[in-house]
Amino acid sequence: MSVAAITLRVLGCSGGIGGRHLRTTAFLVDHDVLIDAGTGVGELSVAELAAIDHVFLTHAHLDHIAALPLMIDTVADQRRQPLTVHGSAAVLDALRRHVFNWSIWPDFSVLPSAEAPLLRFQAIEVGQTVTLDGRRFTALPVDHTVPAVAYGIDSGAGSLVFSGDTGPCDAFWQAVNGIANLRYLLVECAFPDGEQALARQARHLCPAFLADGLARLERPCEVYISHLKPGLIETTMDEIERGLVAFEPRLLQNNQVFAF
């Protein structure tokens, strides 16, 4: 069943910080859902932060979760229901043990009380879909140095896939090819080919690895590149544009809005 077109606004899509245009990964879906919670979340007003009811995390690395603790604290007095954080069991365990542990940040899953908390965790497994007001959020497989997922977001009329962080991963491309109404693919490419050994070690993509993956893509879609490292953006995009002409890849940028 289709819903009204979903909109996704890019709040941050960089692999690092350093200037106003570089914010780490965070996407606002409509007005009430975040995909990741990197420093890009700081672009939102307090009222916009208070309207967010769900956060889907790709993984627990700091550039994808940095703003989550601050966001919850900022809107604590404005919420009447808990913020639901979706992620793999390993991601949620990392948040409990390393962030919301009273040493780094208060445990908002028991504040102001365990019966009426400001934060709740909801595990999601690869292949599982969460439906929110007709919008379908599906966790897809990727391969990173820590447990991680990609997300497919489906309005019924169209879909967008965000890879999150991943290295080469056959299962990811197989999952993408299974999405009949795919319109947009937001895919990472953290390093230029000169850093291919580092990309392999860190389980990120470089243009050569991305080319191998896109060669398996069977669905027509618009391709946007995220997570480029500051200082390497021009080099990496030049290699991508020269090596992947057929896919017309474009650099993902803050404040871009996708409707599907």
Kindly state the percentage of the chain with pLDDT values over 70: 99
The three-class DSSP label of residue 174 is helix
pLDDT value at residue 19: 84
* Domain locations along the chain: 7-259
Check residue 2 and give its pLDDT: 53
Q: What mean pLDDT do residues 72-83 have? A: 95
Q: For position 200, what pLDDT does the model report?
A: 97
Kindly state the DSSP code that residue 25 receives in the 8-state scheme: S
Tell me what pLDDT residue 3 has.
64
Residue 168 confidence (pLDDT) = 98
pLDDT at site 67? 98
Residue 1 has pLDDT above 60, yes or no: no
Q: What is the mean pLDDT of residues 169-173?
A: 98
Tell how far CA 51 is from the center of its chain.
19
At 20, is the pLDDT very low, low, confident or very high (cuts 50, 70, 90)?
confident
Query: How confident is the model at residue 4, as a pLDDT?
Result: 77
pTM of the entire predicted model: 0.96
Strand arrangement of the beta sheet that strand 222-226 belongs to: 129-132, 135-141, 149-154, 159-162, 182-188, 222-226, 250-251
pLDDT at position 233 is 95
Instruction: Strands of the chain (E only): list them.
Output: 7-12, 26-29, 33-35, 54-56, 83-87, 119-123, 129-132, 135-141, 149-154, 159-162, 182-188, 222-226, 250-251, 257-259
DSSP-assigned beta bridge partners for residue 138: 129, 152
Contact 252, 10 (CB under 8 A): yes
Distance CA 259, CA 183 (A): 10
- Average pLDDT rounded to a whole number, residues 225-249: 95
Q: What is the DSSP letter of 223?
A: E
SS3 23: coil
CATH of domain 7-259: 3.60.15.10
Average pLDDT, the chain: 96
Residue pLDDT, tens place only, 128-148: 999 999 999 999 999 999 999
- Above 80 in pLDDT, residue 169? yes
Cα-only R_g, the chain: 18
